[in-house]
Copies of this chain bind each other. A is one copy, B any other.
Amino acid sequence: MLSFVSDYIKGAHEKILERLMETNDEALPGYGNDDYCESAKEKIRKACDCKEAEIFFLAGGTQTNMLVISTLLRPYEGVVAAVTGHVSVHEAGAIEHSGHKVLEIPGHEGKIYVPELEQYLKRYWEDGSHEHMVFPGMVYVSHPTEYGTLYTRKELEALSGVCRAYKIPLYLDGARLGYGLMSKHTDVTLPMIAKYCDVFYIGGTKVGALCGEAVVFTKQNMPAHFMTMVKQKGGLLAKGRLLGVQFDTLFTDDLYCQISGQAIETAEALKALFREKGYRFFLDSPTNQQFVILENGELERLRKEVGFDIWEPYDETHTVVRFATSFATRPEEIEALRKVLENIRNH
């Protein structure tokens, strides 16, 4: 069935599978010490225009968030995040399980507002009993956010400024980073992210890989013995090549951006289609996730023909749903969706 349920419903980009095939019989060292990991890191450093970047490959997003946050924070610190942030809601409490509070502040279409962040930090430090409270020790943002929205360059710069003023790192969750970078409505580039953030990750799982995220520490701030801590938390793959080959492929000949751009093309087409058909959007997303408001009866009819994700109730009779495109979405699928929508409406 036609499906826009998520951006991880398909396997990997075919070039990745080809490279896994081609390199399969090479005898390589384990645990990420192979040449493909090294080559991938070098290519990422170049793409980030950040020579001193330290990079580590991990298997998934929650694992990455948990590892980055828990190894950078001191025991008495928590991470400030939007109340809608992935770490706040959809990671089964992984951050708290690692011992740290997620200090929730309001989310605005998924984004933190810089003045609210600043006020939060100011009030904390002014509170007479702050030593009995969790110290804000890091700021977490997702880009694109869980609602597909993006920070502007100015916003990122301001976030970075606040973090530096309070001497805490800024961490950007880039599970869908490619789709953010290739949005038609962004002025943010990968080198800017490397400049403004202290650490971020480049999502692979949702952008063409079978699995894998590349964590980039940009300020020579990778925690000492990070590898041992990854091992300790069960995140170290014996065959690190699996991640190295994939990221080496994604960062060869600009593949990561190219396939992200394709997803943006299909997302724009999908958005235009829904707009043309008179649907309302929950918000204006510039990336691969589109949030449409459906009347509940129509939702039921539609879900028999096409896959999408139920997001949240909108009102008594409507629901917000998510349609996601990905590196693997083909233009024909948008056309197929057009027919489904027309059939449903004619029904």
By a beta-carbon cutoff of 8 Å, the part of chain A in contact with chain B is 1, 3, 5-6, 8-12, 14, 17, 20-21, 23-30, 59-64, 66-67, 71, 74-76, 78, 89-97, 99-102, 104, 128-129, 131-135, 205-206, 210-211, 224-225, 227-229, 231-239, 241-242, 307, 310, 328
- Can you sample 14 A-B contacts with CB below 8 Å? A6-B30, A9-B27, A9-B29, A11-B26, A62-B231, A67-B234, A74-B224, A76-B232, A90-B132, A92-B232, A94-B234, A97-B100, A132-B228, A210-B242
Q: Contacts A93-B101, A100-B93, A211-B237 known; A231 to B24 CB distance under 8 Å?
A: no
Q: How far is the CB of A34 from chain B (nearest CB, A)?
A: 9
Q: Contacts A20-B17, A27-B307, A129-B90 known; A134 to B8 CB distance under 8 Å?
A: no
Q: Which residues of B contact A232 (CB under 8 A)?
A: 75-76, 91-94, 97
Pairwise interchain contact A24-B30, C-beta atoms closer than 8 A: no
Q: How far is the CB of A206 from chain B (nearest CB, A)?
A: 7
The 6 closest A-B pairs by CB, nearest first: A63-B234, A11-B24, A93-B134, A92-B231, A96-B101, A92-B232
Q: How far is the CB of A45 from chain B (nearest CB, A)?
A: 23
- Docked complex Cα distance between A93 and B133 (Å): 7
- Docked complex Cα distance between A101 and B211 (Å): 27
- Docked complex Cα distance between A112 and B303 (Å): 38
Pairwise interchain contact B62-A234, C-beta atoms closer than 8 A: yes
Further pairs besides A11-B23, A66-B233: 19, Cβ < 8 Å = A1-B27, A5-B29, A14-B24, A17-B20, A17-B24, A20-B20, A20-B210, A27-B307, A59-B59, A62-B234, A75-B232, A90-B133, A91-B132, A93-B99, A97-B99, A128-B310, A131-B228, A205-B238, A233-B234
Pairwise interchain contact A328-B206, C-beta atoms closer than 8 A: no
Which residue from chain B places its CB closest to the CB of A245 in the assembled complex? B11
